[in-house]
Structure 1
Amino acid sequence: MIELDDQVDLNIDITLLEEISNSLTTKDIELIITDNEQIKELNKQHRNIDKATDVLSFPLEFDMPQMPLGSIVISKNFVEDKATEYNHSIQNEFTLLFIHGLLHLLGYDHEIDEGQHRQKEEELITKYNLPDSLIIRNS
């Protein structure tokens, strides 16, 4: 189950997000939609990077029964900008960022792996008929 905290009224339909999540994990996920200002603060605080970003993932440190997998934070500003730039819907761009963040929660890390994150992302994009994601656009 996805626990949605839409702090900026982006009005995302989480039906597909739930389907994607349930195909990969039985754990709950906290999903926070915020703006560039707030995500910049989180990025600075947790990654020591003083700039806004599109998506952040915060896996829970402990794998215990009934505990959520972790939290995904997505910037409304990035979603709107990239949807416009790549000429697809806000819903599709949001779903791409959700997939990216979810894979990080599941332990995938495109910065250090040997392409597994990218491969899994491509698999999900094809399965759910989505446009190319950031990781694929940049490769």
Structure 2
Amino acid sequence: MSLQLDYSNEQDKVNIPDAWIEKLQELLRLAGEAEGMSEGEVTLTFVDDAAIHELNREYRGIDRPTDVLSFAMQDDGTEELDIIFEVESEDELDPISGMLGDIIISVERAVSQSQEYGHSLEREIGFLFVHGYLHLIGYDHQDEASEAIMTAKQEAVLRQAGLTR
């Protein structure tokens, strides 16, 4: 098995070309390699602002749309998922392999942000995807130090994939 991406497009405002999905698969592979992960499955869903607003309200208690949401399969909802990458023996399963979780991206929000930041929509969706992936494996940005770590990791992966500003 390798890192697998399953996706669905539940919005109709922006066409998501096959080439973008291939780029997202590349980003998943690169982000996984950077974190020492070679196995797992991520489900990605493209939605509009209304759908992500509803999810944000229901699951986070925040009554507004957001750009990306991540739902880690290994997360019990009470604490951040510990970042675990190494296996002690070959017989022991990696605790975060298998289904890693779901990433939901608001394409409407991505369009707005790509225009605001002056880069391509493909780059913005790639950024949000890598950001969501890092959340799935336990990273967060609750303070400046952890935000700097996530940002550096995201930018390094995007740079490797040729998605620069």
TM-score with structure 2 setting the length: 0.71
* Separation in structure 1 between the aligned mates of residue 53 and residue 137 of structure 2, nearest angstrom: 23
Match of 2:29 among 22, 35, 40: 22
* Separation in structure 1 between the aligned mates of residue 9 and residue 64 of structure 2, nearest angstrom: 21
Counterpart position of 1:73:
104
Query: 1:48-91 deviations in whole A, cap 9, x for unaligned?
Result: 111000000000027476x3110000001111111222232221
Match of 2:156 among 90, 102, 123: 123
- DSSP-derived class of the 1:107 partner: coil
Give the % identical residues: 33
Which structure 1 residue ranges, 5 or more long, are not aligned? 133-139
Greater Cα radius of gyration, structure 1 or 2: 2
Query: 1:22-65 deviations in whole A, cap 9, x for unaligned?
Result: 23042111000001111011111111111000000000027476
Q: Equivalences for 1:1-139 in 2 at 5 Å? A: 1-9=4-12, 10-12=15-17, 13-23=20-30, 24=32, 25=37, 26-61=39-74, 63=95, 67-112=98-143, 114=146, 115-131=148-164
Which structure 2 residue ranges, 5 or more long, are not aligned? 76-94
